[in-house]
Structure 1
């Protein structure tokens, strides 16, 4: 596996549509090497290249992962990068893929959510380092991890049994997002409409919200839920740098002059 590097190392002009890269695929704490190989194969099927692994199992070139990877054993799998979860959420706009557990707008851990088809419509017009995040085979992503993730994606399935296994979930999601990677018509990469604000700017926005909630004595027991709600709102809004900086200025003034 390769050493971690910043997703923003590319020095190309950010507004150049030709440098737009598909989302990375991140797998958190997979237990089965075979599932990692299956995900790598799905990435190869649908044109995705950047595989990020958080606490992965051992991936023996003679073992199950490479056996399940098909032609992805030649590039996607050996070029995977091992990183920490903190590095993931700090450097990427993260989209957590999870089953919905009957939550509604009163809870913001697994709600609101987009389907993969929704993302396929929206992501082609947004430039930013983005990662699709898949969790463990048995429990998926924990609520603590989802609280750090920018937005949620869920595959529509039968309400009596909505849970897909890890390899299936990744394959279905990447299939729906294939238009981000596979050429075939002139609309595969439409003209860039907006460039998402850098993650460090959005993080400063969250910090400023935290300061404001403290300054106005927002009930302490409600602050964590309020911050999750704001993260979900901004995660779906695709704020530009100008929008984020304008909001930062307004929030800073509100924090410094609450009596007015």
Structure 2
């Protein structure tokens, strides 16, 4: 089980944004340490989207001690140390690495985010089990609290969401249909009157292009119809 905690947030809108990201990526348990006032008519609920119905109203106000005592904790920070001479912010994992490291782990984990301006203090990070940081430009590595939470929770989605909305495999059209499309294109090239010696190369380029595209059945059918109509238009007396 993965939970989220926000420590000493100053802006209710950021709490709402984090609640919304949790709803997006399949998390439900939100803990708040020293939170701002979360007025149901205020920006926290305004920013929360559908999370205003469950995640936000069910958020629990707890102490930092509660997080340390009850969870495997991961502190999120933008500022890290470069080597092992300083252990407070080193070593650290990226959100993607964190997701991989938690796969199959049975311990309840809480991902802890800090304040908008200064994040988590060194004293707080010292008491947390792991450190997570988002790789960003060295010129400006600090992200908005809501942005940082959204990116981190997105990377954790493989542990919290059954991804059924987006297929992982491309439904490539049957080869006989693709070959028929190649033949239709070759016929169009002939009808267009392309210079004879250039026709084989043009047909080959088309085959290579389509080969990389892995078209679906619907795409092949649509292209076939367009090419056929174009050829018929060309051949009209």
TM range (shorter): 0.5 to 0.7
Shift of 1:92: 0.6
CA RMSD of aligned residues (A): 1.0
Q: Does 1:36 align with 2:36?
A: no
Within 2, Cα distance between the matches of 1:149 and 1:120? Answer: 17
Superposed counterparts of 1:43-62, under 5 Å: 43-62=22-41
98, 101, 121: which one aligns with 2:100: 121
Among candidates 128, 145, 154, match of residue 124 of structure 2? 145
Note if contact 2:22-2:28 (Cα within 8 Å) is conserved in structure 1: yes
Alignment partner, residue 93 of structure 1: 72
Q: 1:167 and 2:146 equivalent?
A: yes
Q: CA deviation at 1:67?
A: 0.2
Of the three residues 157, 160, 163, the one matched with 1:181 is 160
Shift of 1:102: 4.1
> Secondary structure of 1:126's partner?
coil
Residue by residue over 1:227-257, the C-alpha shift from the partner in whole angstroms, topping out at 9 and shown as x without a partner, is xxxxxxxxxxxxxxxxxxxxxxxxxxxxxxx
Structure 1-normalised TM-score?
A: 0.62
Q: In the aligned structure 2, how far is the partner of 1:106 from the partner of 1:59?
A: 41
Equivalences for residues 1-260 of structure 1 within 5 A: 21=1, 23-184=2-163
Counterpart for residue 7 of structure 1 = none
Q: Deviations over 1:130-184 (max 9, x none)?
A: 1000000000000000010001000010111110010000000000110111113
Mapped to 2, the partners of 1:100 and 1:125 lie a distance apart of 28
Q: What is the rounded CA distance, in whole Å, between the counterparts of 1:40 and 1:129 in structure 2? A: 19
Q: Which has the larger radius of gyration?
A: 2
Structure with higher helix content: 2
TM-score by length of 2: 0.68
> Which stretches in structure 1 are left out of the alignment for 5+ residues?
1-20, 186-260
**Greater than 4 Å deviation, 4+ residue runs:** none
Mark the CA change 1:160 to 1:111 in structure 2 (over 3 Å): closer, same or farther.
same
Deviates more, 1:134-143 or 1:102-111: 102-111
Q: CA deviation at 1:124?
A: 1.7
Whether the aligned pair in 1 keeps the contact of 2:80 and 2:92 (CA below 8 Å) is: no
